[in-house]
């Protein structure tokens, strides 16, 4: 596996080694030792699978008191996956990084705790998988508006399909920052 640093501290593009032949392929998607050697030594405690259709945008989501690191990959289809740094005091606070993840390119993205996460579907449909370092806590579920002009994410789609909740998320200047981040 190759771990490529992004412009956000602690966020990596993970490039697995893929072994392909006429039968198909094999790849290792997680190895505790390889992740720890790259500074990612949190345990994953929950796996999630999301299925969405073309034009859906989910996010930007985070948890207030139970922040989750996430290891993200796509089994089928293609997304533009985005992380926004909301760690108070971080030199990249309010900055974003995005990657195209697909079943074809097999890239993965690791987002450390304190990063708001979202993705938009670029293919007809997508099967999206992610591992989390903390359990989902409904009372801590928070969001950041997807189109905040102060962040300026280029989502690569127009007129996304959003949930009612995601349409009403506050901007960066109004969100509650995770309590463990405040000084």
130 belongs to the catalytic site = yes
Indicate whether 23 belongs to any domain: no
- What is the number of structural domains in the chain? 1
Range of the domain at 128: 42-175
Q: Which residues contact 174 (CB under 8 A, 6 or more apart)?
A: none
Q: Is the pLDDT of residue 149 over 90?
A: yes
Indicate which residue of 66, 97, 110, 130 is catalytic. 130
Indicate whether 21 belongs to any domain: no
61 belongs to the catalytic site = yes
Q: What is the DSSP letter of 179?
A: G
131 burial type by CB count under 10 A (0-12 exposed, 13-18 middle, 19+ buried): buried
pTM, two decimal places: 0.92
Q: What is the CATH number of the domain that holds 127?
A: 2.60.120.10
Indicate whether 16 belongs to any domain: no
Looking at residue 77, its pLDDT comes to: 98
Indicate whether 75 belongs to any domain: yes
Mean pLDDT of the chain: 94
Q: Mean pLDDT throughout 46-57?
A: 97
Indicate whether 5 belongs to any domain: no
Indicate which residue of 61, 66, 97, 117 is catalytic. 61
The pLDDT tens digits of the residues spanning 89-113 come to: 899 999 999 999 999 999 999 999 9
């Amino acid at each position: 596996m190759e771990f490529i640093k992004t412009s956000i501290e602690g966020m990596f593009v993970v490039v697995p080694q893929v072994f392909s032949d006429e039968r198909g392929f094999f790849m290792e998607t997680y190895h505790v030792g390889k992740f720890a050697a790259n500074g990612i030594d949190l345990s994953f405690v929950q796996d999630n699978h999301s299925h969405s259709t073309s034009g859906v945008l989910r996010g930007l989501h985070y948890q207030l008191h139970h922040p989750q690191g996430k290891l993200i990959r796509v089994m089928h289809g293609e997304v533009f996956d985005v992380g926004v740094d909301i760690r108070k005091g971080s030199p990249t606070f309010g900055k974003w990084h995005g990657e195209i993840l697909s079943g074809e390119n097999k890239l993965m993205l690791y987002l450390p705790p304190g990063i708001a996460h979202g993705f938009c579907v670029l293919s007809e449909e997508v099967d999206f998988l992610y591992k989390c370092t903390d359990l989902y806590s409904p009372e801590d579920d928070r969001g950041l508006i997807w189109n905040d002009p102060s962040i300026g994410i280029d989502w690569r789609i127009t007129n996304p399909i959003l949930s009612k909740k995601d349409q009403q998320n506050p901007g960066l200047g109004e969100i509650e920052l995770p309590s463990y981040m405040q000084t």
